[in-house]
Amino acid sequence: MTQADGTGDARPTNEATSDLWMIVAIVQPFKLDAVRRAVEAVPNFCGITVSDCRGFGHGMVRGETGDDVRDIAIGARPMQMPAPTPAVRREPAVDSAVVDFTPKVKLEIAVATGAAADEVVRVIAQAAHTGRRGDGKIFVVKTERVVRIRTFEEGASAV
């Protein structure tokens, strides 16, 4: 808990803030409703932020013609090309490929305990799972501090 001193400054009191977590999940858009229902059923669920996003991982890359689709490992080194001549500009082969960004949904959920973080991760993984490439990822991030802007509360009570 914090004390507001009238200046808008939040000052932490003795409340422990060492067990705050942010769960960030990137999932398929068609799984959003199932994931939302699953996390709403978690005891002490406080809320969720949802954003549309796009991205790729070990995804699909289309060649210059648009019909040459193949899997690639992101971060692979591009093929080495000879030094360009003054009249011709050459680009590495990987630059000519078009990366297809896949629409995804990003979910952000703050929780006040490690046990709650584990449960949220479990239910998101179960609800978002299809077993196919592109199911998504879940990131669990230790959070140093949370402040509720309206009341200046900090820590678990601000989640």
- Tens-place pLDDT, residues 24-53: 999 999 999 999 999 999 998 999 999 999
Q: What confidence score (pLDDT) does residue 59 get?
A: 55
What average pLDDT does this structure show over 47-76? 65
Whether residue 1 lies inside any domain: the answer is: no
Range(s) of the domain holding residue 150: 16-75+91-158
Whether residue 9 lies inside any domain: the answer is: no
Backbone phi, then psi, for 102, in 5-degree steps?
A: -95, 130
Residue 95: Cβ-neighbour burial (10 angstroms; 0-12, 13-18, 19+): exposed
Residue 53's beta-bridge partner residues?
Answer: 104
Structure confidence by residue, pLDDT tens digits, 80-111: 445 555 555 555 554 445 668 999 999 999 99
Here the CATH number for the domain that contains residue 58 is 3.30.70.120
Give the whole-angstrom CA distance, residue 77 versus residue 97.
13
Q: What confidence score (pLDDT) does residue 100 get?
A: 80
Whether residue 145 lies inside any domain: the answer is: yes
Query: Looking at the chain, how many residues does it have?
Result: 159
Whether residue 85 lies inside any domain: the answer is: no
**3-class SS of residue 93:** helix
Whether residue 114 lies inside any domain: the answer is: yes
Question: How does strand 136-143 pair with strand 98-99?
Answer: unpaired
Number of domains in the chain: 1
Predicted confidence band at 56 (pLDDT cuts at 50, 70, 90)?
Answer: confident
Whether residue 134 lies inside any domain: the answer is: yes
Structure confidence by residue, pLDDT tens digits, 137-147: 999 999 999 99
Whether residue 49 lies inside any domain: the answer is: yes
Whether residue 4 lies inside any domain: the answer is: no
Q: What confidence score (pLDDT) does residue 144 get?
A: 94
Whether pTM > 0.75 for this model: the answer is no
